[in-house]
Amino acid sequence: MYQTFLSFRYLRARPISWIGVAGIFVAVSALILILSIMSGFLAETRNHLRGSLSDLLIQPHLDRVLMHEGQSVLPKRDSAGILEAVLEDPLVAGASAHYTWYGMLAAAGRERMLSDVNHGDLALVKLVGIDASEEYSVSNLEEDLKRVSLISDERVADPSDPFGPIPGYEPDGRPLDPILVGEQLARFWGLRRGRTLELVTAVLDPKTGNAQEAVSRSFVVAGTFRSKNNDFDMSTLYLPRSVMAEWFGAGREFTDVAVKLKDYKGTKAAAQASLAVRLHELGYLHDPEVTGGMEIRPWEDFQRSMLAAIENEKGLLGIMLSLVLLVAAFSVFAILSMLVQEKRRDIGILCALGASQWGVMGTFLMIGLWEALLGTLLGLGAGIWATLNINAIEQALSNTFGFQIFNREAYAFDHIPTVIEGGGIAAIVLGAFTASLLAAALPAWRAARLNPVEGLRHE
Amino acid sequence: MSESTTPILSVRGVRRSFQAGERKLEVLHGVNLDLAAHGRLCLMGSSGAGKTTLLNIIGLLDRPDEGEVMLQGQDAWSLPNSSRAGLRNRILGFVFQFYHLLPELDALENTTLPARLAGARGTRLREYRSKAKSSLEAFGLGQRLHHRPGKLSGGEQQRVAIARALLMEPQLLIADEPTGNLDRATGDRVLDLLFEEQQRRGFALLLVTHDQRLAKRCERIVHMEDGQIQADSTTPIPH
């Protein structure tokens, strides 16, 4: 095909045509890299949020009367029974009963805290009473306890028994109950393994379950965990569930149950429905038709705004970067328009020698096609290469410019997370290719419409 | 060569005007012209007489407002675009005053271009390439095959243009001031070449020139003035 032959010659002879290729190349590679990094952040964040929240969370309305076997009763409050019932479900991989409550952390001592309310030695924290082995089956806690610290090594002595003996801790009298603190919190308050901390909270009325009076209690730090989610690490404390149940009592052994499914994506809704029915039959939950199934919720429900924000950011960034693609397509348009103007005489010659209008159009469209093909392929290769090597690139750039480009502490990721999304990349490549071809079509059409006589007059 | 043979070209009542601002400029006022197969016609006239416009219409590059251009007995302007492109490729050959070679292609590629435009590939293209090579060698350009137009002299470029025009064995060669941009000696050599090829291959030649010496080498001279044919004379060709 002469169109191929001529388009190659024009491309080779006109170095300016490479600006179009370069534009598409930069746009495609940047889009792929940014999409992969954003997807990586999203996936990593989802992983961490999911890790600490498990898949489903069962939160029975423990103080609301329900109908069970024809009688109005309060929901059952024993943890063993509900765990057994949940684990019976074939869709469930693990379950862990929590006793969750809120308290205030007074690191510098209760008296000081109460005497000087403006001091700031006070933090609102979430107290989660767990059984370690149960919890390991539903969350990443075990890994989080083993994860190397960014600050100082205050990890638990034995991750298989995090509430076990604490090396170097020699109590004066009765040993204090152990507590696990998030690394960020430990750093902020200077909490180290073996140190004591004070929690202030309110106990419940055993009859009504409502908060009744303020109490405080001392604990000993058994170690730190690092979930890579700074907010979570700053606000969560793990205690043995038995300690929580004994402290707060109120006739309940748990407040909620975290459930891990075998196939979360595939069976989320089915598991939610079957557990709601089963636990209602057993007297743990209310009738799902009355509560609308609100007692069992997927973890995303608790992080919806955060996930939506990241997803939204990804979308917005995609739209903004698509403008880069438009600029690249415009450069193809501008350069090809220039070429058509410059080649008016050649167009006249080609017509005189027997080229049809379609043939002339095809020749110039083909130039756009090569630019699009070369730009997208090079961009695809470079984008994927940069994605796979982003951490090495970041390190090299940081070393060259003398400052850390990616702040690992700010994100609590020790690497820049990336995910290569086939669908997204295909859309970028296809988009770039189509945009460039469309941009080439107009000048090519104008070339075909040129009067050959005008071109031949051109000397 | 007699006018009684079927004409390869027959122009009937061709009119052409151009819009120049508010004014309509009548360039051709019903031109009639026949050219026999193998004939050699020289079209003369002052600047603005309408020679080039007529040539563009005959060359199927510019559509007349009225009239017919019969090529090999068919009304070329009634054909669709693609068929006219085919006629330009196979039946017509062009030689221009400014050679009009593509600067990105070398001499051999320029010569082979009409074959590419005709869709020749593979073996056929190789055949055309060897034919083009032979022509260029015969025209004294054997050492210049892979030179781009920028590296060739005017005379050499015009010889490449002639080789290109003849590659598809046209029935009618249209030459617009083929020596207009060359010095006298070079122009003579180019003309010798053109006429020799015409004798050898037997195509019809339609030549536009201002050069009286050149006109004398044509068997028929047509004078144009104000968009009309004023005189049509047949002269013996001196050999």
Mean pLDDT of A274-290: 84
Q: Is A356 in Cβ contact with B61 (below 8 Å)?
A: no
Cα separation, B61 vs A437, whole angstroms:
29
**Chain A residues lying within 8 Å of B121, measured CB to CB:** 1
More confidently predicted of A149 and A252: A252
Chain B nearest-CA residue for A10: B104
The whole-number pLDDT of residue A96 equals 93
DSSP letter at A234? H
Q: Which residue of B has its CA nearest to A14?
A: B104
Q: Give residue B230's pLDDT.
A: 86
State the residue for tokens 């604990």: A219
Out of B85, B100, B104, whose CB is closest to A355?
Answer: B85
Please answer yes or no on whether A9 and B104 come within 8 Å at the CB atom: yes
Q: Which of A126-135, A220-229, A336-345, B120-129 has the lowest mean pLDDT?
A: A220-229
Beta-carbon count within 10 A of A156 CB = 23
pLDDT computed for residue A208 by the predictor = 64
Residue in chain A closest to B111 (alpha carbons) equals A353
Band (A118; pLDDT cuts 50, 70, 90): low
Nearest to A452 among B61, B117, B121 (CB): B61
Q: What part of B 108-147 touches A (C-beta under 8 Å)?
A: 113-114, 116-119, 121
- Is the pLDDT confidence value at A267 over 80? yes
Query: Which carries the bigger pLDDT value, residue A253 or residue A88?
Result: A88
More confident site: A379 or A172: A379
Is A407's pLDDT higher than 90?
A: no
Band the pLDDT of A45: cuts 50, 70, 90.
confident
**Cβ–Cβ gap B61/A346 under 8 Å:** no
Alpha-carbon gap, residue B53 to B67, rounded angstroms: 14
Q: Which residues of A touch B114 (CB under 8 A)?
A: 353-354
Q: What is the pLDDT of residue B239?
A: 45
Query: What confidence tens digit (pLDDT) does each residue in A185-241 have?
Result: 888 778 888 888 888 888 777 666 666 778 888 899 999 988 877 778 888 899 999
List the end-to-end C-alpha distance of chain B, in Å, as a whole number.
15
Q: Does B82 touch chain A (CB under 8 A)?
A: yes
A438 CA: distance to closest CA in chain B (Å): 24
Q: In this structure, what DSSP letter does residue A67 have?
A: E
Residue owning tokens 């609308």: A292
- Average pLDDT on A300-328 reads 82
Residue type, A119: H
Residue whose C-alpha is closest to residue A411's, from A211, A146, A229, A236? A229
List CB contacts (< 8 A) between A455 and chain B. Answer: none
Quick one: closest CA in A to B60, which residue? A352
Question: Pick the residue with more confidence: A10 or A213?
Answer: A10
Query: Cβ of A354 and B94 within 8 Å?
Result: no
Residue B5: its pLDDT value, please? 61
**Do A150 and A183 meet the contact criterion of CB atoms below 8 Å apart?**
yes
Check residue A142 and give its pLDDT: 87
Give yes or no for residue A305 having a pLDDT over 90. no
pLDDT digits (tens, 9 = 90+) for B11-61: 999 999 998 888 988 899 999 999 998 899 999 988 888 898 999 999 999
- Contact yes or no for A359 and B59 at CB 8 A: no
Q: Is the ipTM of this complex over 0.90?
A: yes
Which residue is closest to B122 within chain A, CA to CA? A1
| A362 neighbourhood in chain B, CB within 8 Å | none
pLDDT of A417-442, one tens digit each?
Answer: 899 989 989 999 999 999 999 999 99
**Nearest C-alpha of chain B: how many angstroms from A405?**
47
- Inter-chain touch B104–A350, beta carbons under 8 Å: no
| Ranges of each domain in chain A | 2-48+305-457, 55-91+262-298, 98-254
List the single residue in B with minimal CA-CA distance to A450: B61
Percent of chain A with pLDDT strictly greater than 90: 27
Q: Does B88 touch chain A (CB under 8 A)?
A: yes
Contact assessment for residue B63 and residue B77, using Cβ atoms and an 8 Å cutoff: yes
What stretch of H or E contains A96? strand A92-106
Decide if A253 contacts A99 (C-beta within 8 A).
yes
Q: How do residues B159-204 score in pLDDT, each as one tens digit?
A: 999 999 999 999 999 999 888 888 888 888 888 888 999 999 999 9
- Say if residue A324's pLDDT is above 70: yes
Higher pLDDT, A68 or A446: A446
Decide if B79 touches A, using CB distance below 8 A. no
Q: Report the 10 Å Cβ neighbour count for A327.
A: 12
CA-CA distance, A346 to B23, in Å (whole number)?
31
Q: Cβ contacts (< 8 Å) between A9 and chain B: which residues?
A: 102, 104-105
Which residues lie below 8 Å from residue B99, measured CB to CB, with a gap of 6+?
B149, B154, B157, B158, B160, B161, B181
Once rounded to an integer, what is the mean pLDDT over residues A132-143? 88
With CB atoms and an 8 Å threshold, state whether B102 touches A346. yes
**Torsion angles phi and psi, residue B16, rounded to 5:** -150, 130
pTM here is: 0.70
How far apart CA A393 and CA A400 sit, in angstroms, is 10
Nearest CB partner across the interface for A354, out of B89, B100, B101: B89
**Amino acid (1-letter code) at residue B152:** L
Q: What pLDDT is stored for residue A300 in this prediction?
A: 82
Kindly tell me if the per-residue pLDDT of A80 is higher than 60: yes
Per-residue model confidence as pLDDT tens digits over B58-109: 999 999 999 999 998 889 999 998 899 999 999 999 999 899 999 999 999 9
Phi, psi of A120 (to 5 degrees): 95, 0
Chain B nearest-CA residue for A12: B104
Q: Cβ of B94 under 8 Å from any chain A Cβ?
A: yes
Backbone phi and psi for residue B233, each to the nearest 5 degrees, phi listed first: -125, 145
Distance CA A330, CA A17 (A): 13
Helices (H), chain B: 51-58, 81-90, 107-117, 122-138, 154-166, 184-201, 212-215
pLDDT-based confidence at residue A268 (cuts at 50, 70, 90): confident
- Shortest CA distance to A376 belongs to which of A6, A20, A58, A77? A20
The whole-angstrom separation of Cα A19 and Cα A16 is 6
Answer yes or no: do A350 and B118 touch at CB < 8 A: no
CB A447 within 8 A of CB A361: yes
Cα Rg, chain A, nearest whole Å: 32
How confident is the model at residue B1, as a pLDDT? 41
Kindly give, in sequence order, each residue whose CB lies less than 8 Å from that of residue A173, ignoring residues fewer than 6 positions away: none
Query: Which pLDDT does position A201 carry in this prediction?
Result: 85
When pLDDT is cut at 50, 70 and 90, the band that residue A152 belongs to is low
Angle between helices A79-88 and A264-281 (to 10 degrees): 130
Q: Which residues from B are below 8 Å from A356, CB to CB? A: 81-82, 85
Segment A31-46 shows an average pLDDT of 86
Nearest CB to B100; choose among A1, A453, A456 = A456
Residue A120 is predicted with a pLDDT of 60
pLDDT band at B2 (very low <50, low <70, confident <90, very high): very low
Residue A352 CB: number of other CB atoms within 10 A?
A: 27
Q: How many CB pairs under 8 A join A and B?
A: 68
Which of A85-99, A145-159, B11-25 shows the lowest mean pLDDT across its residues?
Answer: A145-159
Indicate the average pLDDT of chain A.
Answer: 84
